[in-house]
Amino acid sequence: MPQPDEFRYVAADDPLALPLVTELTEEYDARYGDAWGEPASTELSRYPASEFAPPHGAFVLLLRDGTPIAGGAFKTFDPATTELKRIWTSKHHRRQGLARRVVAELEEESRRRGFTRVYLTTGPRQPEAQRLYLETGYTPLFDTALSAEEVVIHGFAKSLGAEPLDVEDIRRRHDESLAHFYAALPNRRLGTGRGTQEVLA
């Protein structure tokens, strides 16, 4: 008899997480190529595994009969906020609401750790991710009247408690984080929230 799906927290470099990392690497590179002046999958090695380890982070897999079918992670963004990363659903198990379940689990784990809000970014060529966050109560930190390619990095945030989201504060932190990100790219770009501007390196 099949066992119920199970969430399991593991280290980011646990061999059980390899399908997640492998599929995300392939998908990022297929969607974005080297649009940033480096392979898009470089993002997956940007942070050490320790950033996704307790007490400051988490890495979770959703297992079905012992096999990873979805997963995700968070790291600390600021003392009150976790940043969701690596949200993934196996290409063989899509359209089952699994990403939504992973996001909900990571939100709950963030609450258990005492965080009061969650933040994340996604790219312009991931419309399904943008829909997921809009449909699950996240506030966009960008001008929704702009096209995805004008926005480039799409930031979202959500309050995890009774207090409303401090949009001004998290948007400021988002803009600061983006400035550091863009400045570190080989092909530097500045995202203003009202469009993008190429900057000579």
What pLDDT digit, counting tens, does each position of 16-73 carry?
999 999 999 999 889 888 776 777 777 788 899 999 999 999 999 999 999 999 999 9
pLDDT of residue 1: 61
- Domains of the chain by range and CATH? 6-198 (3.40.630.30)
The alpha carbons of the chain give a radius of gyration, in whole angstroms, of 17
pLDDT of residue 187: 60
54 and 110 Cβ atoms separated by less than 8 Å: no
pLDDT of residue 44: 81
SS (H, E, C) the chain: CCCCCEEEECCCCCHHHHHHHHHHHHHHHHHHCCCCCCCHHHHHHCCCHHHHCCCCCEEEEEEECCEEEEEEEEEEEECCEEEEEEEEECCCCCCCCHHHHHHHHHHHHHHHCCCCEEEEEECCCCHHHHHHHHHCCCEECCCCCCCHHHHCCEEEEEECCCCCCCHHHHHHHHHHHHHHHHHHCCCCEEECCCCEEECCC
pLDDT of residue 183: 83
pTM, two decimals, is 0.89
Q: Which residues of the chain have pLDDT under 50?
A: 188-201
